[in-house]
Amino acid sequence: MTLKDTAKSLPYPLKQGLKYVYGVIPLHIHYGKVFRETYAFLQKSQWWTREQLEEYQLEQLSQLLHHAYGNVPYYRRVFDERGLKPKDIQDFTDLQMLPYLTKEIIQNNLPDLVAKNYRQSKLQYATTGGSTGIPLGLYREKGISDAKEWAFMTTQWNRVGYQFGAKCIVLRGKVVESASKGKFWEYDPVNKDLILSAYHLTEENMPKYIQKIRDFKPDFIRAYPSTITIMARFMKENDIVPFPCVKALLCGSENLYPLQRELLEAIFQCRVYSWYGHGERAVLAGECEHSNFYHIFPEYGLVELIGENGKSVTKEEAMGEIVATGLNNYVFPFIRYKTMDLGIHTSKKCECGREYPLLKRVEGRMQELIVAKDKRLITLTALIFAQHFKAHSKIKEMQLVQEEVGRVLVRIVKTNEYSVKDEQEIRQKMQKNVDNQLDITFDYVDEIPRTARGKYRFLIQKLPIELGDTE
Ligand SMILES: [Zn+2]
């Protein structure tokens, strides 16, 4: 048992004590060799030419496929059934001979997706939220996956000034054990983070949160967009000045909507940096110092964007499902994994000079599309976010619910200024955007419930959504 394992099994106060011991070890040593090597590699590879990146990906892909064929029963079967060998896949087009890996396949084949050449002790079980609300189980490599992930994360945050060991406020889904006793934060001495409870952001508690942030003087705030938006609204309503020490807000794990970005940048007076990734760790893409395009890390995963006809999307601004092959998980390989997330293609180049493939936007999950009366699928951008509503400033929170084709329920937490006119405006603008192919009803509530992981969902889509025949 390592010191770290021992620490995990200790009762809480002792755990905290050991954490402080850890805290004096320089961070790059704490995170270990894998972290340092990955980080150093990314510092160079991000400036490679497109050819270098593609060559690297093909090499990594070939290695992954040979490994999967040799050690992972599910993939052995997939190759054998098609009469294929790993050497038959020489380029990205050949890869399409392999079938998609769906969430359903994972749920039904869990043991067969684990590589047999890894000892049980090397496996780390994890679950991810998943748009259906059913958690998806998977395995990562103990001690390796997290170190690599952290190297990728810090590399992308470097683009907005993040340096190793920077002081962060963390306002995400983590439950703070002392919050029930009125202490809404806990210090993590290893990462030098102050973790705030995202579940106690009431009007009454907010001044305490804000004072704590001021005293802590963080360099960055890492948050779910929805939680930091609650704080921004409170600061706006109460004319609270921002925190000058904060260089950027680092927002991931939920879609960042344009209106949220606008509000956050105005209130916090700093850059909002957004990225897209998921617990399956097959794709990671983030903004850069120059633009809001999502730069896909080619060293992390190989991404295909698949359109309605099942073909790769190549048209500028066309939408497709993100299908990803993760290059770093050998314990539980994700090959051509259907993420059920939607991205908007662009073949533009970014001014930053990185030759990474780009997504113009990430539209969120397929379950975040609305179905109109004529069965047309509508993105939330088209329905709401691409235009300005006067009513928005009078709404605390909003959520859409669809249970029937052509019909949407709008849940709203109002402010005191909200009136009937605002309801009319929302209805008219939304209906105009979909040529009146949508019936809209309103429900006024006191709060919008969060998911089990503390995330906010803008749309609860109860209809099954299929982008088309993509099998
Ligand atoms: Zn860029």
Distance 134 CA to ligand 1 centre (A): 35
Give pLDDT, residue 2: 44
Low-confidence winner among 28-37, 193-202, 301-310 (lowest mean pLDDT): 28-37
Q: What is the pLDDT of residues 222-245, one digit of tens each?
A: 998 888 988 998 999 999 999 999
Distance 152 CA to ligand 1 centre (A): 16
All structural domains of the chain with their residue ranges: 370-461
Residue 471 has pLDDT above 60, yes or no: no
CA dist., res. 149 & res. 30, Å (int): 15
Residue 7 has pLDDT above 60, yes or no: no
Residue keyed to tokens 């497709």: 320
- The correct answer on CATH 2.60.40.1120 for the domain covering 370-461 is no
Say what percent of the chain tops pLDDT 90: 63
- Residue 337's pLDDT band (cuts 50, 70, 90): very high
**Sequence-distant (≥ 6) Cβ neighbours of residue 284 within 8 angstroms:** 152, 156, 275, 276, 277, 296, 297, 300, 301
Give pLDDT, residue 225: 86
Q: 0.85 exceeded by the pTM?
A: no
Say what percent of the chain tops pLDDT 70: 91
Give pLDDT, residue 451: 77
Sign of CA dihedral 78, 82, 87, 91: negative
Distance 355 CA to ligand 1 centre (A): 8
Residue 79 has pLDDT above 70, yes or no: yes
The two tokens of residue 444 are 């006024």
Residue 455 has pLDDT above 80, yes or no: no
Distance 294 CA to ligand 1 centre (A): 8
CA dist., res. 150 & res. 31, Å (int): 9
Distance 352 CA to ligand 1 centre (A): 4
Give pLDDT, residue 378: 83
Q: What is the pLDDT of residues 159-195, one digit of tens each?
A: 999 988 899 999 987 888 898 888 999 999 888 899 9
Distance 240 CA to ligand 1 centre (A): 33
Q: What is the pLDDT of residues 257-301, one digit of tens each?
A: 888 899 999 999 999 999 999 889 999 999 999 999 999 999 999
DSSP 309-332: TSSBP-STT-EEEEEEEESS-SSS
Distance 285 CA to ligand 1 centre (A): 11
Distance 292 CA to ligand 1 centre (A): 8
Low-confidence winner among 35-49, 125-139, 198-212, 322-336 (lowest mean pLDDT): 125-139
Query: 296 φ, ψ to 5°?
Result: -80, 125
Distance 354 CA to ligand 1 centre (A): 6
